[in-house]
Chains A and B, each alone.
Chain A
Amino acid sequence: MIRNSELWGGLFWLAIGAFVIWAGRDMGLGRLHQPGSGFAFYWIGILMCALALGVIGQALVSGGPPLASLWAGTRWPKVLAVIGLLLVYGVGFEAIGFIPCTLALLLALMWFVDPVDWRLAIVVAVVATFGVWAALTKWLKIQLPAGLLADILG
């Protein structure tokens, strides 16, 4: 029972629902004729808890797939690598700039995560990065961080 994925899913949302109820009360419920800022949160939190209890009840009665089965055969290193690369990209985006960050991200994805021929990866990364940069900044007038290349790009 403890390995039942449905149970854990339900418990997670039950905790979130309880937090929403608490937050709603904290914001102030107001009166029925003048509902406060927390009124909707409070009642939706209660609804969430009720539904989460329904999911938990269903898991206890009918069971559910074990947690491990959800990850069977999963190529999770690739998934973790993409998430990690996106986070690193976000951290460096403003300081390092769009062009270096995007080039590095695309090359990392095509060299290490799901590899393609390294020469093809370079061509795709360079064309895509500079193409998007030109389309956005020159055509659509959308500002992208220049970062390290601020002096060169103006």
Chain B
Amino acid sequence: MDILAGLGQGFAVALQPINLLYCFIGVFIGTLVGVLPGIGPVSAMSLLLPVTLSGTPESGIIMMAGIYYGSMYGGSTTSILVNIPGEAASVVTCIDGHEMARQGRAGPALGMSALASFAAGTFAIIALSLVAPTLARVAVAFGPPEYFSLMLLGLTILSFLSQGSMAKALLMAAVGVVLGLIGMDQITAQARLTFDRLELLDGIGLVPIVMGLFGVAEILSNLDRELKREVIKARIGGLWPSLADWTAAKWAILRGTVLGFFLGILPGGGAVIASFASYAMEKKLADRPERFGKGAIEGVAGPEAANNAAAGGAFIPLMTLGIPPNVVMALLLGAFIIHGLQPGPLMMTQRPDLFWGIVASMYIGNAMLLVLNMPLIGMWVQVLKLPYRILFPLILMFCIVGVFASGNAVFDVFVMVLFGVLGYLMRKFGYEPAPLVLAFVLGPMLENNLRKSLILSQGDFTIFVERPISAVCLVLAAAALAAPLLPALARRRARLAADQT
């Protein structure tokens, strides 16, 4: 009953004309950045973070959330029509989606992708409405040791699930924590690693780091080799999948939805992992696995359902615990913070309008996305034809403007360039930026909770294992760390990394 009352309150907020407009802008931009290769939800949300300041907190956050789940829809269009993923979570859709397009079945592939996304997105929002209030009640009992251990678990899982070397991913997480701690110590007011630069006293901004590592580095990587894009020229035709398509895809959608939702909740998980896991599962369960890679519609439906369900599930740790499970949610946390809000267990009681307003806006946004992605598919195909040589100067300009507007300082532009070069080199040397950015956001919270725990326990580290929730998190983190030492798991992880590459 509380949930229904909350949702009613939420719809009253989400249906306000200004919030409907922000929701539409969010899902539109999300679809656009999903469609365009070379700019993803992380860059777009960083870019628009300062824009959220011009409206109310709910409007800004509704827009940011819309960009995220909107990009999950848009990414598949590029994967299917061009064989280049619009964003990382659509990588796996290229395999069978593009093959279907080559066989003249681009329409059903696009239609199935949009409908599976809609079904999974709707399921995830309903599950979010049901699970979040319960989890928030439990989370009230969390103290510094629990928060510390949970964040440690998130970073460990993210590193475990990263492509390639786990040592490198953990190394990046450690670098991220160090970067996050630069600036004035909140307890002793001592300047830390500021090199006597006044600009660093408040720490390095999240936006320049993200725009550098994801925006500029992506452009540099795309420029350093010839980017071949060939949009399918055949007529797209009817988008509605046939009865045979539905029969083949229905269980894939269901399995992808449930799997994606739980992987989305998992700290360190997310849409990318969910889509790969769903594809692997469908291939394993298929009667004729040899069809995969040759235009199997389950290979489109499962991963697309999974990445959208994961996008919904990822809101749960942020909204109930105040802990972002992935980089995109870290940016959303940034949006909350610049509005003076702290997501977490108390948000549901202190700002129910905001919490339920965001949830309700996701129902509305999901319906908007279906309209944007089914009848307007022709428009997105035109967008895809925009040459990259025109697109990349514009993306660079938006990066600069976004970074400058976030802090009103040219210093941040130089920080962005520095991290752009670092990100480019990291890609060359096989180091992933995602653990770095998540650790950068979690770093100050991690240190704060570690110090509080040690002060509470008079320097006794057993406080982390005496508390059950903290102990469970640490055991899981230790298991994730030890897993690569087991040969079978190491082989499985290497195979996943190879698939992702």
Q: Using CB atoms and an 8 Å cutoff, list the residues of chain A in contact with chain B.
A: 5-6, 9, 13, 16-17, 20, 23, 27-28, 31-41, 44-45, 47-48, 51-52, 54-55, 58, 70-71, 73-76, 78-79, 82-83, 86-87, 89-90, 93-94, 102, 105-106, 109-110, 113-116, 120, 124-125, 128-129, 132, 136, 140-144
- Collect the chain B residues with CB atoms within 8 Å of residue A83's CB: 220, 417, 420-421
- Please report the C-alpha to C-alpha distance between residue A120 and residue B171 in the assembled complex, in whole angstroms: 45
B131 in the interface (beta carbon within 8 A): no
A40 engages B447 (CB within 8 Å): yes
B459 in the interface (beta carbon within 8 A): yes
Chain B: minimal CB distance from A70 (Å) = 5
Partner of B170, one of A51, A70, A76, A110: A51
B229 in the interface (beta carbon within 8 A): no
Partner of B429, one of A5, A37, A114: A5
- Please report the C-alpha to C-alpha distance between residue A10 and residue B188 in the assembled complex, in whole angstroms: 33
B171 engages A52 (CB within 8 Å): yes
B412-457 contacts to A, CB under 8 A, are 413-414, 417, 420-421, 424, 428-431, 446-447, 450-451, 454-455, 457
B289 in the interface (beta carbon within 8 A): no
- Collect the chain A residues with CB atoms within 8 Å of residue B430's CB: 6, 9
- Please report the C-alpha to C-alpha distance between residue A33 and residue B460 in the assembled complex, in whole angstroms: 8
A86 engages B216 (CB within 8 Å): yes
Across the interface, name the chain A residue whose C-beta is closest to B431.
Answer: A9
Across the interface, name the chain A residue whose C-beta is closest to B193.
Answer: A23
B8 in the interface (beta carbon within 8 A): no
B393 engages A109 (CB within 8 Å): yes
- Please report the C-alpha to C-alpha distance between residue A143 and residue B451 in the assembled complex, in whole angstroms: 40
A87 engages B417 (CB within 8 Å): yes
Chain B: minimal CB distance from A147 (Å) = 12
B429 engages A41 (CB within 8 Å): no
Chain B interface size, as a band, is 35 or more
26 A-B pairs with CB atoms under 8 Å apart are A6-B429, A13-B171, A16-B175, A32-B454, A33-B454, A33-B457, A33-B458, A36-B188, A44-B177, A51-B168, A55-B168, A58-B165, A58-B167, A70-B428, A79-B220, A83-B220, A83-B420, A86-B216, A86-B413, A90-B414, A93-B404, A116-B387, A116-B389, A124-B393, A140-B54, A142-B50
A37 engages B185 (CB within 8 Å): yes
Partner of B393, one of A52, A55, A105, A136: A105
Chain A: minimal CB distance from B249 (Å) = 40
- Collect the chain A residues with CB atoms within 8 Å of residue B460's CB: 32
Chain B: minimal CB distance from A81 (Å) = 9
B159-210 contacts to A, CB under 8 A, are 165, 167-168, 170-171, 174-175, 177-178, 181, 185, 187-188, 190, 192-193
A109 engages B396 (CB within 8 Å): yes
- Collect the chain A residues with CB atoms within 8 Å of residue B455's CB: 33-35
Partner of B392, one of A51, A74, A109: A109
A48 engages B51 (CB within 8 Å): no
B192 engages A41 (CB within 8 Å): yes
- Collect the chain A residues with CB atoms within 8 Å of residue B417's CB: 83, 86-87, 90
Across the interface, name the chain B residue whose C-beta is closest to A132.
Answer: B401
B290 in the interface (beta carbon within 8 A): no
B337 in the interface (beta carbon within 8 A): no
Q: Which of A54, A58, A114 has the most CB of B within 10 A?
A: A114
Partner of B178, one of A20, A110, A116: A20
B390 in the interface (beta carbon within 8 A): yes
B1 in the interface (beta carbon within 8 A): no
- Collect the chain B residues with CB atoms within 8 Å of residue A75's CB: 223-226
- Please report the C-alpha to C-alpha distance between residue A31 and residue B413 in the assembled complex, in whole angstroms: 39
Can you add 12 more A-B contacts, CB < 8 Å, to A37-B187, A75-B225? Answer: A6-B429, A6-B430, A51-B168, A51-B170, A51-B171, A83-B220, A106-B393, A110-B393, A114-B388, A129-B397, A140-B50, A140-B51
B207-261 contacts to A, CB under 8 A, are 216, 219-220, 223-226
Q: Which 7 A-B pairs have the closest CB atoms?
A: A32-B459, A33-B459, A109-B393, A114-B389, A51-B171, A54-B167, A37-B185
Chain A: minimal CB distance from B241 (Å) = 38
B188 engages A86 (CB within 8 Å): no
- Please report the C-alpha to C-alpha distance between residue A119 and residue B488 in the assembled complex, in whole angstroms: 59
A51 engages B389 (CB within 8 Å): no
Across the interface, name the chain B residue whose C-beta is closest to A78.
Answer: B223
- Collect the chain B residues with CB atoms within 8 Å of residue A52's CB: 171
A40 engages B181 (CB within 8 Å): yes
Chain B: minimal CB distance from A139 (Å) = 8
B405 engages A116 (CB within 8 Å): no
Partner of A37, one of B190, B226, B388: B190
